[in-house]
Chain A
Amino acid sequence: MTALAATARHARYVIAENPVTGFAFALFVLIVLAAVFGPHIVPYNPLSSDTAAALQPPNMHHWFGTDQLGRDVFSRVIVATRLDFFIAVASVALVFLMGGLAGVAAGFFGGWTDRIVGRIADTIMAFPLFVLAMGIVAALGNTVQNIVLATAIVNFPLYARIARAEANVRREAGFVEAARLSGNSDWRILACQILPNVFPILVVQMSLTMGYAILNAAGLSFIGLGVRPPTPEWGIMVAEGSAFMVSGEWWNAFFPGAALMIAVFCFNLLGDGLRDMVDPRRRT
């Protein structure tokens, strides 16, 4: 049985045992489907405005109502899934590569590598994280790429630290010495022996970071430093909709806010489930 098949079987077992994880996993699939197929299945064009139909409460034609420009809120919320999900996935992938690799190298080689990575992480941690994200986006410009970059940079110390700790522990392990005896060079040991052991632990963290990344993007959009209108994105929609809360048009801000909440909730639950799955104490 290959490693993959064993993991899949264990995954099925964990999901079966813990219904909450199963629920989170189903929700995750739903979100992915919305991101992939959303723009093709929504009833209205999320960008087309129809001021005559502005600020309608939820009704049969517009399930989530319309916003101040007459755009269908439901369509916008679903289409925004793609953008927010992309930001989450891209940020997490980037920070995993940057932080994970830097941390593993620092933990395994020690010496100057460790010192340099440590100082970089310390510098980043010296700033309040959101302020730093704001600063990076403000300096580099309001694009989706920069939001992704800012999120990745802000999370770098966490991943570097986790990866470093795991690599450090395993550096002394018997199997690393055995690998040297078998003719593996240091780099090969890092790639083939250490990384596969560190990866599962980072994956758990990645799921949690996805939730944070979405919130981060939403937060930046909320203060005007994120995605620009009219692009549908949950954060901007909440920002624009908040102005109408007081006058009673709650649906503008509520539905994108709820979508945010559900997505983050799903990723966090998924992280818990993943932690169960990769726990080294797993038994057959």
Chain B
Amino acid sequence: MAHMTAVPALSVEGLTVEFRTRSGIVRALDNVSFSVEKGETIALVGESGSGKSVTAYAVMGILDPAGRVTAGRAMLGGLDLLSAKPSQLADVRGREIAMIFQNPRTALNPIRPVGRQIADVLIRHGNVPRNEAPAQAIEMLRAVGITDPVRRAKAYPFEMSGGMCQRVMIAIALAAKPSLLIADEPTTGLDVTTQAVIMDLVSDLARDLGMATIFITHDLALGGQRSARIVVMHAGHVVEDAPTKELFAHPRHPYTAELIAATPDAAASLDQLASIPGSLPDLRRADLPNCRYSERCPRKIDACVQPLPRPDPGATHIVACWNPLP
């Protein structure tokens, strides 16, 4: 299904982000573009240093102070999040776009009962009257599968397990029924059985609310489980963007293929696993090649020094490569 004439929930175009550090300028993101349709779930997959979290933080406007967006737009409906005024952003965050984070216990306010934290969002963004918010907060806790919500609403984050804290964070994020949810590695650190339940929960709620979801993860298998499309990132570039089944069946970018080959589940024995040759380029270099994977790529050809090919506007399977796999 090509990108339809319908307006996508979020459209990131040419996002370029730099960080000023003591040891130089880190070109964290370079011309990152992708979009999420309304109600669609996509996975943003990459290893550490790929820039996947930076992308989310830039879109939400919560980049580290040392980071700057030097180019690009992030269109949420008609609003460009990257050039919006702080007051516009404050309106939109929570109400239209919400985010859940990796470490649930540290993302929650440790000295405020969880019920109140949910109620805060309801009052600020959900237009719920102050006296009705606590009751609705309890309902949200029930909806995210927390047993005995009346008692739990008065509990503090440190009294709850990691899985429960994550559920609370989901409740907070979804309280105002946003149209887009960004989930940044929400299950890292959770047990695999809890992870499955949390992922199911997010999927179910997203389906019920018609909410678009961007699911950020380093785990290719996990990302592929519940997404319609996967966007693969490497060293600040989008290298491949394709429907999930097609990505696994016919990966076209060499990096994607290597990533699949390195994932334990794919191999029947340890010897069949292949690691990815080379290492990430230093993003502080002034002489970064146009294709940041080219220096470690086994399929490199002369054409690879030119700027990356422009993606075909109607294409469903986008590859940023001059010599992709057939």
Contact = CB atoms under 8 A, between A and B. Distances in A.
| Physical contact A–B (CB less than 8 Å) | yes
Interface in A247-284: 283-284
Contacts of A283: 22-23
Contacts of A284: 23
A284 B21 CA distance: 11
A284 B22 CA distance: 9
A284 to B, nearest CB: 8
Contacts of B22: 283
A276 B23 CA distance: 17
A54 to B, nearest CB: 58
Please tell me the size bucket of the interface on B: under 10
Nearest to A13: B22
Nearest to B21: A283
A283 B19 CA distance: 15
Contacts of B23: 283-284
A56 to B, nearest CB: 54
Interface string B5-38: 0000000000000000011000000000000000
A284 B23 CA distance: 8
B199 to A, nearest CB: 30
B207 to A, nearest CB: 42
Interface in B52-73: none
Nearest to B22: A283
A233 B243 CA distance: 81
A14 to B, nearest CB: 11
Interface string B277-308: 00000000000000000000000000000000
A56 B22 CA distance: 55
A283 B23 CA distance: 9
Interface in B220-267: none
A175 to B, nearest CB: 22
Nearest to B23: A283
Interface in B182-232: none
A10 to B, nearest CB: 11
A140 B272 CA distance: 79
A163 B23 CA distance: 33
A125 to B, nearest CB: 27
Nearest to A284: B23
A12 to B, nearest CB: 14
Interface in B121-160: none
Interface in A165-220: none
A59 B22 CA distance: 50
A257 B46 CA distance: 63
A132 to B, nearest CB: 35
A173 B30 CA distance: 39
A204 B23 CA distance: 26
B293 to A, nearest CB: 26
A22 to B, nearest CB: 17
A276 to B, nearest CB: 12
A139 B22 CA distance: 54
Nearest to A282: B22
Nearest to A17: B22
A179 to B, nearest CB: 26
Nearest to A283: B22
A239 to B, nearest CB: 48
A283 B22 CA distance: 8
A284 B24 CA distance: 12
B32 to A, nearest CB: 26
B284 to A, nearest CB: 12
Interface of A: 283-284
Interface of B: 22-23
List 3 A-B pairs, minimum CB-CB distance, nearest first.
A283-B22, A283-B23, A284-B23
3 contacts: A283-B22, A283-B23, A284-B23
